[in-house]
């Protein structure tokens, strides 16, 4: 206690003073009103003091209370707090009401305004700390998966610090930000990525990664626009309101909680690879090639592929075999007295011919250790909570990991009856080590490594030169993943502080004023070392190993980025409430908010490195740097009026006027209204007090919210020249001269905000004394006048025009079912089912614009496509007839005879799932609790570049059985009558074509590597899945037991996460995709894998 007091003083906090005078002893028993059972572990505190105790195993307590003490406060998790007036009696019988599904739950709504949940005319849904943290997920966004209806979390991967896209009720904007606003303890904070990832480089973590989920007390999700309307233009996508631990529950003595967790992580799914065909192409063995289209394993040792012809005048020894002058070294060992062996130039050894599972061997078992210490206390004058947490992760890919330190402090203090002050402060230091994905992925070399190449054991660099790699292939792509993880480095380190302080003044009961000022500050520095010798960065993997190369490697690149961010938020709110007339209460809130943002980013790149391993920009012969500054301000004025008639009808209306700097002059101020109505019909006399239908509410709302765009005047930018095929191109300055070009973007000076209109209707009911609860919402929304870069035909001389055009509409059904199927004295089974179906449809883009690209390659990519659900996969399709049949190449001189043909580029898949279902179960028996969450995503599609590539390389199990014929049924190309402008074929006769029998093994290679590899539609798959998202078993030790070891509480748990039960996607985990943002989960290209975790944890309270 002394130490903690010191800590509080150190924090500038005025310690709680406890003056104890004379005391007397009282005793009592706490029981539950529901079944009369006693309540062990309930907290009993003398009101206004820190004097308190907890009840024993029999629900009994004894307590020394000071003379003059007026009342006791008795509380227990899951039951309503009760105040007991002290009389002269020495024994008290306290009855607690259970609140398994609380009717009078108070929730935090927009701008920190607390409201009773029953009074809301719109849907919100909460997640409590224990629900969030029960499986010890270190990532806040993925810890929310399956727990809130209508919230879809699309994670990029399972790597430490991986980003996620969150859609609440689908998407609203074609290419804008569809992420919700995060508000922590009343302060809106930055939560998205500083940089977007496309199809190259590394993922950039979302800034929500800075938050340790252990610090969170509860989350309330404001799903719709009516709920979020008071936040104005930033809240079109809903709001995630996070309340960190405040200490309000820790009445009495300080509560110290220590939580630790350890989990072991492994790759969630490995692709199935063939084990029968070796390294090579066209059925011929090659020791240096990117493919596994070689001969069957048993034929390799006899291979007559030339490895080396001795043109010197003396014999050369190859690992014990002499090749005389004029002789040839064939790869197959049978020619050299080494049957069942082949000569590997990379290993400089004769190696056995055998299959390897390179993918399985590459991944590590990762681990996550987390530790969180929290001290909380509450008393008459206020409450505080201070915490420190550390999360350390090592990823399943070597060299990856995360180290997060976080600190938090919150306090509220009543100065007197009228003044209250408080603050919330959070600091974090996060360092993430990553690896690139997409085009730069290391996984090409893992999943694509030939079956006969022993990737793990053949040295990844040549003898005596660490920086010259060896690999199964050569040239400028296909880096050896072992070499790359050893030598490259991708680090992202963020130091952040955000917090706010407030003062609240309540001169009378009906009037209050609150002023809050907050700031969010962070800096991120990123270091990318693309080591010299990396084929991806201008190096090459040498093709010749005889004699060993001693020269230095070429290439290499260093990229340094820094991002500095600062945001101030000033918020003033005045509230007046009172009785307007009999049975009618009213409340009015008016206020003002100012949000001022500043961001500056620096980027420098050094190429042409000179010294391998010297990881500093000074090592680069060419250095290029850029900077970017951005300032932005929003000033909002708002009002909120609510009426409550008889506790039955609740009307709420809001209005907000926002002025934004980023819009063009004289077009900056905009007004948005919202209105909502809730009718608690069970308050009608006829329905009141029933146990069958214990609670029933109808609600409806309408809202309009705008979102600003960014306007810029025409400008000139530095030029340069390049191509999609080369990394660097030509940059200025060149020869001491720089060149500039007019920007290829046009901005419309009449830009206006994009406006979302939405309505929502909903129904809530509870039956049988709250044993069953249902909540259903239907929403429809439409966002018109979207601000986006409307693409222009290249021939206009411009790439895009930033203007208002087009609209997107969406609807969402959300259904929540709360069930308590079993509840006895010792055993309770709680079930919470979240089902939702959200669909956004891109109604129209702009005149003459049918679709726009969001992320991906030129072909395929992810687009917003007029008339289709958002987003849509786009790329080369199969050539089909008007009846939908495939067109087959029937030219029997063609190597592609019997195979499908490519049609035009078209919409080839729909990313949106049909529905999401999360089934949460909690079974408690005495101190034992088993929780599990089953997450089912039905439908939705993805372009799986990884599947394309393992088929193309001939490593996938699908490419096995090469002597078995395959057939295609379709219309022969030569029989067609015509192919129209939309690439639809007409006429023709259908037949079945067969290829790939004995002697035609090469047909499989043509099929996968040449034909299907070039038709994007062939690689679009459905991504339905069922996952056992979380399962945890925890045991809370009895208080009577732990009190003997001077503890207040002790619980231990084991948990597992992300156990994939089933998916329709072949070979890979469907929750692994490419790019940041709106296209996420629709496009994969050797994207980083997901993990399955198994762990154990311990929580100690003292």
Residues 1008-1027 that bind another protein (CB under 8 A): 1009-1011, 1014
**Alpha-carbon span 789 to 746, nearest angstrom:** 9
Site for another protein in 89-128 (CB under 8 A): none
Between 689 and 735, whose beta carbon lies closer to another protein?
A: 735
- With binding defined as CB under 8 A, does residue 449 bind another protein? no
Between 445 and 696, whose beta carbon lies closer to another protein?
A: 445
Sequence-distant (6+) residues with CB within 8 A of 509 are none
Number of residues that bind another protein (CB under 8 A): 122
Q: How far is the CB of 574 from another protein (least distance, A)?
A: 7
Site for another protein in 934-973 (CB under 8 A): 973
Partners of 568 in the β-ladder? 519, 596
Between 320 and 507, whose beta carbon lies closer to another protein?
A: 507
> Quick one: which segment of 5-13, 104-112, 308-316, 684-692 binds another protein (CB under 8 A)?
308-316
**Alpha-carbon span 60 to 983, nearest angstrom:** 81
Which residue of 135, 199, 455, 474 would you call a contact of another protein, by CB under 8 A?
A: 474
Q: How far is the CB of 664 from another protein (least distance, A)?
A: 8
- With binding defined as CB under 8 A, does residue 791 bind another protein? yes
Which residue of 661, 924, 961, 1101 would you call a contact of another protein, by CB under 8 A?
A: 661
Displacement of CA 304 from its chain's centroid (Å): 51
Give me the DSSP letters along 539-571. --B-S--SSPP-SPP---EEEEEEEEEEEEEEE
Which residue of 36, 88, 858, 1046 would you call a contact of another protein, by CB under 8 A?
A: 858
> Quick one: which segment of 61-69, 244-252, 266-274, 653-661 binds another protein (CB under 8 A)?
653-661
Tell which residue, 654, 598, 521, 519, has the closest CA to residue 235.
654
- With binding defined as CB under 8 A, does residue 751 bind another protein? no
- With binding defined as CB under 8 A, does residue 197 bind another protein? no
Between 524 and 1016, whose beta carbon lies closer to another protein?
A: 1016
- With binding defined as CB under 8 A, does residue 655 bind another protein? no
- With binding defined as CB under 8 A, does residue 326 bind another protein? no
Between 48 and 475, whose beta carbon lies closer to another protein?
A: 475
Longest dimension (CA), the chain: 114
**Alpha-carbon span 374 to 245, nearest angstrom:** 9
**Alpha-carbon span 749 to 709, nearest angstrom:** 12
> Quick one: which segment of 240-248, 475-483, 684-692, 1085-1093 binds another protein (CB under 8 A)?
475-483
Site for another protein in 630-649 (CB under 8 A): 630-633, 635, 637
Which residue of 13, 195, 262, 281 would you call a contact of another protein, by CB under 8 A?
A: 281
- With binding defined as CB under 8 A, does residue 624 bind another protein? yes
Write the interaction track for another protein spanning residues 969-1008; mark x where CB under 8 A is met and - where it is not: ----xx------x---------------------------
| Phi, psi (rounded to 5 degrees) for 1048 | -90, -30
**Alpha-carbon span 47 to 66, nearest angstrom:** 11
Q: How far is the CB of 54 from another protein (least distance, A)?
A: 43
**Alpha-carbon span 1087 to 944, nearest angstrom:** 9
**Alpha-carbon span 328 to 343, nearest angstrom:** 12
- With binding defined as CB under 8 A, does residue 876 bind another protein? yes
Tell which residue, 458, 471, 568, 584, has the closest CA to residue 519.
568
Between 214 and 662, whose beta carbon lies closer to another protein?
A: 662
Which residue of 204, 679, 711, 1025 would you call a contact of another protein, by CB under 8 A?
A: 711
- With binding defined as CB under 8 A, does residue 666 bind another protein? yes
- With binding defined as CB under 8 A, does residue 721 bind another protein? yes
> Quick one: which segment of 164-172, 470-478, 955-963, 1071-1079 binds another protein (CB under 8 A)?
470-478
> Quick one: which segment of 83-91, 138-146, 236-244, 705-713 binds another protein (CB under 8 A)?
705-713
- With binding defined as CB under 8 A, does residue 905 bind another protein? yes
**Alpha-carbon span 435 to 363, nearest angstrom:** 13
- With binding defined as CB under 8 A, does residue 616 bind another protein? no
Which residue of 367, 608, 965, 1066 would you call a contact of another protein, by CB under 8 A?
A: 608
Between 544 and 1040, whose beta carbon lies closer to another protein?
A: 544
Residue with tokens 């509870």: 766
- With binding defined as CB under 8 A, does residue 713 bind another protein? yes
Which residue of 365, 584, 793, 1061 would you call a contact of another protein, by CB under 8 A?
A: 793
Sequence-distant (6+) residues with CB within 8 A of 892 are none
- With binding defined as CB under 8 A, does residue 289 bind another protein? yes
Site for another protein in 488-517 (CB under 8 A): 505, 507, 513, 515
**Alpha-carbon span 297 to 305, nearest angstrom:** 14
Site for another protein in 811-850 (CB under 8 A): 847-850
- With binding defined as CB under 8 A, does residue 896 bind another protein? yes
Partners of 1100 in the β-ladder? 258, 1050
| Phi, psi (rounded to 5 degrees) for 465 | -145, 95
**Alpha-carbon span 1074 to 1081, nearest angstrom:** 7
Angle in degrees, CA 864, 873, 1009, rounded to 5: 150
Q: How far is the CB of 564 from another protein (least distance, A)?
A: 14
- With binding defined as CB under 8 A, does residue 737 bind another protein? yes
Which residue of 101, 108, 449, 746 would you call a contact of another protein, by CB under 8 A?
A: 746
Helix (H, G, I), strand (E, B) or coil at 382: strand
**Per-residue H/E/C for 213-245:** HHHEEEEEEECCHHHHHHHHHHHCCCEEEEEEC
User: Tokens at residue 652, please?
Assistant: 């709420």
Which residue of 411, 792, 958, 1056 would you call a contact of another protein, by CB under 8 A?
A: 792
> Dihedral, CA atoms, 232, 238, 244, 249, nearest 10 degrees?
100
Contact, 448 vs 470, CB < 8 A? Answer: no
Q: How far is the CB of 542 from another protein (least distance, A)?
A: 10
Q: How far is the CB of 547 from another protein (least distance, A)?
A: 14
Contact, 862 vs 873, CB < 8 A? Answer: yes
The pairing of beta strand 1083-1084 with beta strand 941-944: parallel
Which residue of 175, 569, 662, 922 would you call a contact of another protein, by CB under 8 A?
A: 662
**Alpha-carbon span 488 to 615, nearest angstrom:** 10
- With binding defined as CB under 8 A, does residue 907 bind another protein? no
DSSP 51: -
| Phi, psi (rounded to 5 degrees) for 741 | -130, 150
Site for another protein in 53-72 (CB under 8 A): none
- With binding defined as CB under 8 A, does residue 765 bind another protein? no
Displacement of CA 934 from its chain's centroid (Å): 18
Give me the DSSP letters along 323-354. E-TT-EEESBGGGGT-TTEEEETTTTEEEE--
> Quick one: which segment of 41-49, 51-59, 568-576, 985-993 binds another protein (CB under 8 A)?
568-576
Q: How far is the CB of 833 from another protein (least distance, A)?
A: 43
Q: How far is the CB of 798 from another protein (least distance, A)?
A: 5
Q: How far is the CB of 794 from another protein (least distance, A)?
A: 4
Contact, 667 vs 752, CB < 8 A? Answer: yes
> Quick one: which segment of 74-82, 168-176, 777-785, 888-896 binds another protein (CB under 8 A)?
888-896
CA distances from 478 to 320, 728, 1083 (A): 30, 18, 21
- With binding defined as CB under 8 A, does residue 1057 bind another protein? no
- With binding defined as CB under 8 A, does residue 716 bind another protein? yes
- With binding defined as CB under 8 A, does residue 416 bind another protein? no
Contact, 887 vs 988, CB < 8 A? Answer: yes
């Amino acid at each position: 206690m002394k130490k903690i007091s010191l800590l509080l003083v150190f924090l500038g906090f005025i310690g709680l003073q406890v003056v104890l005078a004379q005391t007397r002893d009282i005793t009592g028993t706490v029981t539950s009103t529901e079944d009369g059972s006693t309540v062990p572990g309930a907290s009993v505190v003398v009101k206004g003091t820190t004097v308190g105790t907890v009840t024993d195993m029999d629900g009994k307590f004894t307590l020394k209370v000071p003379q003059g003490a007026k009342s006791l406060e008795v509380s227990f998790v899951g039951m309503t707090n009760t105040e007991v007036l002290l009389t002269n009696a020495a024994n008290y019988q306290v009855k607690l009401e259970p609140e398994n599904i609380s009717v009078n739950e108070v929730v935090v709504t927009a701008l920190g305004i607390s409201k009773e949940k029953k009074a809301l005319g719109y849907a919100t849904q909460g997640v409590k700390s224990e629900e969030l943290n029960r499986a010890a997920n270190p990532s806040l966004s993925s810890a929310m998966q399956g727990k809130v209806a209508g919230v879809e979390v699309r994670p990029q991967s399972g790597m430490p610090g991986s980003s996620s896209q969150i859609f609440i009720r689908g998407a609203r904007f074609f290419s804008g930000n569809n992420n919700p606003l995060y508000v922590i303890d009343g302060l809106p904070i930055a939560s998205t990525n500083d940089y977007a990832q496309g199809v190259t480089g590394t993922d950039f973590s979302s800034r929500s990664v800075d938050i340790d989920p252990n610090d969170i007390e509860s989350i309330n999700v404001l799903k719709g626009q009516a709920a979020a309307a008071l936040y104005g233009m930033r809240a079109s996508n809903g709001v995630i309101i996070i309340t960190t631990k405040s200490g309000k529950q820790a009445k009495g003595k300080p509560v110290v909680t220590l939580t630790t967790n350890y989990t072991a992580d492994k790759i969630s799914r490995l692709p199935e690879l063939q084990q029968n065909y070796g390294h090579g192409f066209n059925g011929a063995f090659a020791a240096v090639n990117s493919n596994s289209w070689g001969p069957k394993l048993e034929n390799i040792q006899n291979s007559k592929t030339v490895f080396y012809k001795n043109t010197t005048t003396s014999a050369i020894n190859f690992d014990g075999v002499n090749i005389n002058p004029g002789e040839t070294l064939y790869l197959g060992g049978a020619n050299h007295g080494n049957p069942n062996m082949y000569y590997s130039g990379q290993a400089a050894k004769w190696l056995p011919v055998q299959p390897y599972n390179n993918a399985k061997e590459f991944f590590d078992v990762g681990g996550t250790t987390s530790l969180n210490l929290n001290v909380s206390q509450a008393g008459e004058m206020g409450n505080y909570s201070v915490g420190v947490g550390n999360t350390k992760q090592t990823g399943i890919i070597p060299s990856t990991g995360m180290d997060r330190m976080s600190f938090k402090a919150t306090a509220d203090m009543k100065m007197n009856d009228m003044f209250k002050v408080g603050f919330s402060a959070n600091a974090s230091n996060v360092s993430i080590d990553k690896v690139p994905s997409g085009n730069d992925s290391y996984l090409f070399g893992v999943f694509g490594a030939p079956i006969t190449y022993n990737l793990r054991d053949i040295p990844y660099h040549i003898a005596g030169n660490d920086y010259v790699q060896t690999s199964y292939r050569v040239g400028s792509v296909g880096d050896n993943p072992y070499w790359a993880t050893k030598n490259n480095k991708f680090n992202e380190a963020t130091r952040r502080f955000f917090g706010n302080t407030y003062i609240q003044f309540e001169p009378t009961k009906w009037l209050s004023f609150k002023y809050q000022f907050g700031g969010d500050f962070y800096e991120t520095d990123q270091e990318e070392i693309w080591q010299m010798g990396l084929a991806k960065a201008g190096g090459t993997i040498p093709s010749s190993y005889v004699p060993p190369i001693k020269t230095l490697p070429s290439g290499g690149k260093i990229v340094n980025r820094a991002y500095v961010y600062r945001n101030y938020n000033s918020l003033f709110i005045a509230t007046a409430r009172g009785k307007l007339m009999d049975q009618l209460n009213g409340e009015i809130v008016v206020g003002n908010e100012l949000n001022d943002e500043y961001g500056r980013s620096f980027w420098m790149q050094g190429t042409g490195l000179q010294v391998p391993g010297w990881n500093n920009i000074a090592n680069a012969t060419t250095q290029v740097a850029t900077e970017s500054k951005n300032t932005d301000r929003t000033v909002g004025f708002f009002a909120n009026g609510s009426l409550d008639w008889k506790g039955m009808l609740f009307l709420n209306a809001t209005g907000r006027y926002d002025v934004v700097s980023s819009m063009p002059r004289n077009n900056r101020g905009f007004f948005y209204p919202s209105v909502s109505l809730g009718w608690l019909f069970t308050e009608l006399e006829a329905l009141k007090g029933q146990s069958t239908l214990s609670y029933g509410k109808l609600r409806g709302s309408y809202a309009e919210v705008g979102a600003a765009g960014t306007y810029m005047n025409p400008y000139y930018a530095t030029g340069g020249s390049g191509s999609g095929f080369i990394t660097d191109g030509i940059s200025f300055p060149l020869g001491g001269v720089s060149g500039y070009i007019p920007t290829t973007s046009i901005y419309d000076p009449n830009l206006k905000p994009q406006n979302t209109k939405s309505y929502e209707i909903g129904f809530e009911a509870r039956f049988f004394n709250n044993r069953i609860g249902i909540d259903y919402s239907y929403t429809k929304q439409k966002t018109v006048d979207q601000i986006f870069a409307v693409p222009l035909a290249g021939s206009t001389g411009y790439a895009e025009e930033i203007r208002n055009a087009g609209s997107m509409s969406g609807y969402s059904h959300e259904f929540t079912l709360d069930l308590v199927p079993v509840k006895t004295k010792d055993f309770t089974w709680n079930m919470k089912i979240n089902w939702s179906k959200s669909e956004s449809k891109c109604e129209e883009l702009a005149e003459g614009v049918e679709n726009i690209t969001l992320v991906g390659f030129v072909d395929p990519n992810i687009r917003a496509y007029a008339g289709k659900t958002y987003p849509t996969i786009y790329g080369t399709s199969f050539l089909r007839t008007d009846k939908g049949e495939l067109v087959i190449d029937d030219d029997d001189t063609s190597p592609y005879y019997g195979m499908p043909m490519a049609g035009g580029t078209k919409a080839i898949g729909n990313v949106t799932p049909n529905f999401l279902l999360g089934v949460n179960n909690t079974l408690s028996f005495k101190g034992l609790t088993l929780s599990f969450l089953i997450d089912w995503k039905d439908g939705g599609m993805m372009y799986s570049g990884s599947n394309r590539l393992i088929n193309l390389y001939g490593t996938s199990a699908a490419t096995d059985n090469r002597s078995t014929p395959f057939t295609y049924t379709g219309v022969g190309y030569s029989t067609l009558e015509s192919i129209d402008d939309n690439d639809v074929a007409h006429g023709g006769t259908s037949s079945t074509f067969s290829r790939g029998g004995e002697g035609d093994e090469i047909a499989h290679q043509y099929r996968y590597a040449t034909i299907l590899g070039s038709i994007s539609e062939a690689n679009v798959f459905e991504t339905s899945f069922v996952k056992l998202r979380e399962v945890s078993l925890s045991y809370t030790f009895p208080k009577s037991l732990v009190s003997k070891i001077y503890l207040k509480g002790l619980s231990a748990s084991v948990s597992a996460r992300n156990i994939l039960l089933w998916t329709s996607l072949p070979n890979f985990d469907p929750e692994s995709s490419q790019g940041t943002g709106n296209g996420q989960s629709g496009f994969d290209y050797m994207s980083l894998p997901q993990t399955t975790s198994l762990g154990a944890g311990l929580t100690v309270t003292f």
